Amino acid sequence: MNTGHVISGAGHIGLIGWLFFGANFAPTPEPFQVNEVAMISGAEFEAMLAGTTPPEAVTDMVLPVPPETPPPPQPAPAVSPPPAAVPAPAPSPVPSPEQPPVPPAAQPMPPSDVQDAPPQIAPPPQEQAVLAPDISDRPSPRPAPRVAPEPVATPEPDTKVDDIVQEAATPAPSPDPAQQKQEATAPEAATTEIVTEAAEKPSAAPVSSVRPRARPNRPEATETTEAVAQPQPQAEAPAPDTTRDAVQDALQQAMADAAATADAAQPAYSGPPISAGERDALRVAVQKCWNVGSLSTDALRTTVVVSVSMTEDGKPVVPSIRMRSFSGGSQASAQQAFDSARRAIIRCGTRGYDLPAEKYALWQEIEMTFNPEKMRIK
């Protein structure tokens, strides 16, 4: 406390002292640089003015002319081949309806008429360049008819649509007669969001931006709340936070590792949980077939909870698929949403979902919540 006062007092005294006496300690001023000024007589001044005025007069008089006078010699040779006269200043097509009459008339016309053309022609190409895509009455092509969580490039024309990417292969002539011909397959082309015409650039070039992905390995709130709540009582801000993401990543990794360790330690089933990775694999498999493109705007506001029984080979039992509950919409919209969810479960489950057979008891019954909030028209 006293130290602070002492320092403050000393500083203030020093400042006041410098204000009063500082001038006495000022360094000696640097020497002036003196420029000599010559005196001239009135006659010399007149002569000087007379020498400077003509150039000004010349600039006033000539300046407008030079920009216009130089062009004539340039267009002049262009006038001789009339069709080349207009393309020279404006490379883009369609100068304007008024321009075509000028080139034929340009031959008898003096070059001065041609002089007016360049400045007039110059601006339109810019406008035309901007508006060129609108002239076509063909709508700009959409980037891809399919919108999916992850973008997929357009496959080769002969490629068969499939979830698995594989190259085409033909059986070798002699070594392995058992090898069969294999078709090239690739996922269907997809973009990540609907791109309206208004959102596209005027050049009509397809534009897409990646939809922010949900974090894939986020643990279920019901399972992690207890573990997280005790050591971290302070509520985190809902805003995105890289540190928080890092914590979540670490938690997920730790959970996955712990689950893997548990699996390794218990080869026979005795209650190992479904790991986050297995859970995510199932989620990704179902969402690939969850097509909400044909749902009404009301159905896109409806969340449905669907239960399904599974066979041991990972296939859904179709008659067991039921809507447990719904929220956010009417009964009719819930039915549309349920139909869509049911199609997704069945379609992607025809080959059986990739689930660990030893944990069948854990996924024999599955309850899936289909929440289309991220897929709504926005």
Which residues 71-110 are close enough to bind other proteins by CB under 8 A? 94, 97
Alpha-carbon distance 349 to 317, whole Å? 9
Residue indicated by tokens 């379609």: 347
Element (H, E) at 312: none
Element (H, E) at 81: none
Of 195, 208, 314, 326, which one interacts with other proteins (CB under 8 A)?
195
Q: Is 332 in the site for other proteins (CB under 8 A)?
A: yes
Alpha-carbon distance 159 to 168, whole Å? 9
Question: Which amino acid, residue 263?
Answer: D
Alpha-carbon distance 375 to 67, whole Å? 59
Q: Is 286 in the site for other proteins (CB under 8 A)?
A: yes
In terms of CB distance, is 111 or 155 closer to other proteins?
155
Spatial neighbors of 11 by CB under 8 A, at least 6 apart, are none
Residue indicated by tokens 């009509």: 204
Site for other proteins in 344-363 (CB under 8 A): 344, 346-347, 350, 362-363
Of 95, 190, 208, 314, which one interacts with other proteins (CB under 8 A)?
190
Shortest Å, Cβ 118 to other proteins:
22
Of 13, 129, 207, 318, which one interacts with other proteins (CB under 8 A)?
318
Shortest Å, Cβ 103 to other proteins:
18
Q: What is the contact mask toward other proteins in residues 216 to 255, using x (rule: CB under 8 A)?
A: ----x-xx--xxx-xxx-x--------x---x--xx--xx
Q: Is 196 in the site for other proteins (CB under 8 A)?
A: yes
Alpha-carbon distance 250 to 244, whole Å? 10
Cβ–Cβ under 8 Å, residues 286 and 307: no
Of 273, 322, 325, 358, which one interacts with other proteins (CB under 8 A)?
273
Cβ–Cβ under 8 Å, residues 355 and 363: yes
Q: Is 178 in the site for other proteins (CB under 8 A)?
A: no
Of 106, 114, 117, 375, which one interacts with other proteins (CB under 8 A)?
375
